[in-house]
Amino acid sequence: MSDLRLDATQLDRYSRHVIMDEIGPEGQKRLLDGSVLTVGAGGLGSPAIQYLAAAGIGRLGIVDDDVVERSNLQRQIVHGDADVGRPKVDSAADHVAQLNPDIEVETYETRVTPDTVADLVADYDVVLDASDNFATRYLLNDHCVLTETPLSHGAIYRFEGQITTFTNERSGNESPPCYRCIFPEAPEPGTVPDCATTGVLGVLPGTVGCIQATEVVKFFLEKGDLLEGRLLMYDAMDMSFEEVPVQSNPSCPVCGDDPEIESVGDVAYEGTCEISAD
């Protein structure tokens, strides 16, 4: 860890953290020394990026190959009307710069693919999955399991959301659950409509993305209980939360007792994320 001293501006900016016994100057320095790769600068990525930057996560990577559309603005709060047509990574980076100039932002206007995932993830402590498709979720999961990189997962649908955390810390022959342990196979293409087809409550990703950001901050602080081994289900219509315990699957193809996936090249991610027969 770098020098624990905070300058006068930082002491002012992060004063509400510094005065907390659970954080203090040391905890704030942990945040400032931390790095997070956020995959997606849309509904989930927007609140996560905003609150991670405000909390003082020192380096944020933002991956997205899309441009801002006016229909995004109902929920994607790091973008504004003047940003319509701009790359989302540029709009999000400008938002962070205005919010907290302490933060180093690196942008990647690209898709996460089996060819790019290793280089994108390599220099970051944590990956926050704010993607909107199953192929990316499985790809990030598999790579993070294989490299033991912590991964924050969030997903939304209409009025509902889910969140969990995968630390991917292995101890001997034991491994914590991964995304494939919970969801062994992706739905067939076309069977799960996206928000452009079914809609989404605008405030829903704010709640889910903020919980993801909370998990990441707690990870760096090494405080509290993470959602590892627990899938948190949120229903905005009922205003209810349900916690579902999840366990590692010994037959999981990536983290099980006899894994079949030894490289992300072993999986056809654009289909149903099945293991390649080659």
Active site residues per annotation: 195
DSSP code per residue over the chain: -------HHHHHHTHHHHTSTTTHHHHHHHHHT-EEEEE--STTHHHHHHHHHHHT-SEEEEE---B--GGGGGT-TT--GGGTTSBHHHHHHHHHHHH-TT-EEEEE-S---TTTHHHHHTT-SEEEE--SSHHHHHHHHHHHHHHT--EEEEEEEBTEEEEEEE----BTTB----HHHH-SSPPPTTSS--HHHH-B-TTHHHHHHHHHHHHHHHHHHT-S---TTEEEEEETTTTEEEEEE----TT-TTTSSS-S-SSGGGEETTTT-EEP--
DSSP code per residue over 143-176: HHHHHT--EEEEEEEBTEEEEEEE----BTTB--
Nearest to 177 by CA among 251, 250, 229, 245: 229
* Residue corresponding to tokens 């901050």: 217
